[in-house]
Amino acid sequence: MRKVLIVDDDTIIRITLRSLINWEEMGFQIVADAIHGEAALAYLKDHTVDLIISDMKMPVLDGIGLLEAVSHFAVMPKVLVLSGYDDFKLVRDAFRLGACDYLLKADLNGELLRNMLEGLSKEWANEDEAGRASAAEEGREKISDSERLTAMAMGKCGLDEAFFDGDYLVVQFEIDEFQKHAGRFAGDFEGKLIKPLLEFAAQIPRVVSRCVLGTISPSRYVMLYRILDGGQYQANAVSTCRQLCSVWNNFLNLPVSAGISSKGNGAGDFHARFEEAGGWLSLHWLKGKAAVCSPWEKGSVDYLAAKDAFVRYKRLTVGLLTADEMAVSEEKQKLIAAFYRSGLSSAKQELLYLICNLAWILNESHDDIGALFAEKVNYYEKIGRLEEMGSLELWLNNYFRWVMDYAAHQNDRRQADMMSRAKHFIMDNYANPELTLGSVAGYVGLNEKYFSSRFTKEEGMTFSNYLTEVRIRKARELMEQTDLKIYEISQSVGYNSVEHFTRVFKKICQVSPGAYRK
């Protein structure tokens, strides 16, 4: 078994990674997890692992710090990086420090993770250094422009000056609601998604004549648009992106949004233009699905200003997405007072910043701000139609209520999912005498006291009674189907003491284990 260490400060991500696939079937075992890089290094002092799956942004010691440390190990484990859409600079640094691959958190699903692990298993199976060097040399000879663009964007290789000769734009594309569409491709993202998507793009003459399109991840793509048309390049670039998005939607049934950078020149500008394109793409939530965003749109929100607003609205956004009535009420009063002081125009801009931050937080948790309403919403248009502060305040009050109602529903659904995971965990571990309320609560990432009350409410019995029922039911099955001795059955269902097992069995079944077997 290949040993795996998960490093992420987000409990939900750690739980998700554990539950997405059957690790042992694939030859992997998750031996531990850690909430930051320092905790991971403390574990690695006394233990060796084959694979580290690490987030990039963590408190105490981040993913880069962890990579710098493990890069000095006598034998460096393979490192798979977890990142958000705005972490590409960190991903490039990670590759320079020896990371073997990366996975966007928004793409996280069982099929993609399984594909990555299969690829790593093949690497381990072919650890012959001479063979790897030969394969790498062969790969360099055959690499396409598309692959070269991807490698340079992600920092897997140096920038080629000749590749960026002249003026250009960088575009990032994203498949909207990727998680909803991922299941259609049955785990074969390369053959059933990426290849057809690139092939359809290659049927468009102006894409072929001036563009290079590369794959960042199954949900995210990068395009270099070479400027060959002087003063008309802005309109032509937008038109080209809209045509691409339309083709992908019509023939692959995939809604795709795009973000276009300002003009760059030479290799030195590329990474900045790449990051800028991602920034513009992140604003597409304000326009709805299948939107094209660029620096030339009048009235568009500034990405960096919206990002800076995160600190101002952190308590409010957290309150909205946890349906915290008190926190939202307090922050809303402050917000409306500030709006009246600043005036209508400034208030509209700030409201767009706030909605941006809500959208980004929802997207990080595999949710979609578009799900708030049945119809597609263009927030620029909706907020633009508010002509005085009174109507803006009324709309804001209604909007906050919609968000909190949606968040409460989603939280209830997630809690139900957690209870389902808890019961699966109990079924997988009932034979362990050390299984406790605390260990199950920790597995699903909930406070022990809250988990206990929630479990009792959901199941109509306490955790202890539920576990006892599971164990006794399994014991009865073993008595009916096997010739195991009573003490062996006792141990098989999690009881160290056969006397205790006998008392519990008789209390529930009204007969002793021996009498039940007869």
**How confident is the model at residue 129, as a pLDDT?**
52
Which of 124-128, 321-325, 356-360, 424-428 has the highest average model confidence (pLDDT)?
A: 356-360
Q: Please enumerate in sequence order all residues whose Cβ is within 8 A of that of 341, keeping only pairs 6 or more positions apart, or say none.
A: none
Chain centroid, CA 217 distance in Å: 12
**How confident is the model at residue 139, as a pLDDT?**
45
Angle at 88 between CA 276 and CA 358, to 5 degrees: 70
DSSP state letters, 380-425: HHHHHT--SHHHHHHHHHHHHHHHHHHHHHHHHHHHHHHHHHHHHH
CB distance 140 to 69 below 8 Å: no
**What distance in Å separates the CA atoms of residue 136 and residue 97, rounded to the nearest whole number?**
18
What are 83-98's pLDDT values in tens digits?
887 788 889 999 999 9
What are 153-169's pLDDT values in tens digits?
999 899 999 999 999 99
Q: Are strands 51-55 and 78-83 parallel, antiparallel or unpaired?
A: parallel
For 447-465, b where at least 16 C-beta lie within 10 A, e where not — what string? eeeebbebbeeeeeeebee
Residue 6 has pLDDT above 90, yes or no: yes
Average pLDDT over residues 260-264: 96
What are 110-120's pLDDT values in tens digits?
888 888 898 89
Q: Which two tokens stand for residue 327?
A: 């926190």
**How confident is the model at residue 142, as a pLDDT?**
67
**How confident is the model at residue 412, as a pLDDT?**
75
Share of the chain above pLDDT 90, in %: 63
Residue 134 has pLDDT above 70, yes or no: no
**What distance in Å separates the CA atoms of residue 329 and residue 319, rounded to the nearest whole number?**
9
The full length of the chain comes to 518
Residue 132 has pLDDT above 60, yes or no: no
Q: Please enumerate in sequence order all residues whose Cβ is within 8 A of that of 457, keeping only pairs 6 or more positions apart, or say none.
A: none
Chain centroid, CA 51 distance in Å: 19
**How confident is the model at residue 127, as a pLDDT?**
67
Residue 62 has pLDDT above 90, yes or no: yes
Q: Please enumerate in sequence order all residues whose Cβ is within 8 A of that of 409, keeping only pairs 6 or more positions apart, or say none.
A: none
Report CA-CA distances (Å) from 350 to 335, 347, 377, 455: 9, 5, 18, 41
3-state per-residue secondary structure call for 166-230: CEEEEEEEEECCHHHHHHHHCCCHHHHHHHHHHHHHCCCHHHHHHEEEEEEECCEEEEEEECCCH
**What distance in Å separates the CA atoms of residue 350 and residue 364, rounded to the nearest whole number?**
21
Q: Which two tokens stand for residue 294?
A: 């660029």
Could you say which DSSP state residue 287 is in? T
CB distance 90 to 56 below 8 Å: yes
Q: Which 3 state secondary structure label does DSSP give 245?
A: helix
**How confident is the model at residue 386, as a pLDDT?**
95
**What distance in Å separates the CA atoms of residue 385 and residue 387, rounded to the nearest whole number?**
6
What are 270-300's pLDDT values in tens digits?
999 999 999 999 999 999 889 999 999 988 9
CB distance 7 to 40 below 8 Å: yes
Query: For the whole model, what pTM was predicted?
Result: 0.75
Average pLDDT over residues 380-391: 94
For 266-289, b where at least 16 C-beta lie within 10 A, e where not — what string? ebebbbebbbbbbbbbbbbbbbbb
Q: Which two tokens stand for residue 483?
A: 């010739």
The domains found in the chain, sorted by start residue, are 2-139 (3.40.50.2300), 144-293 (3.30.70.270), 303-407 (no CATH), 430-517 (1.10.10.60)
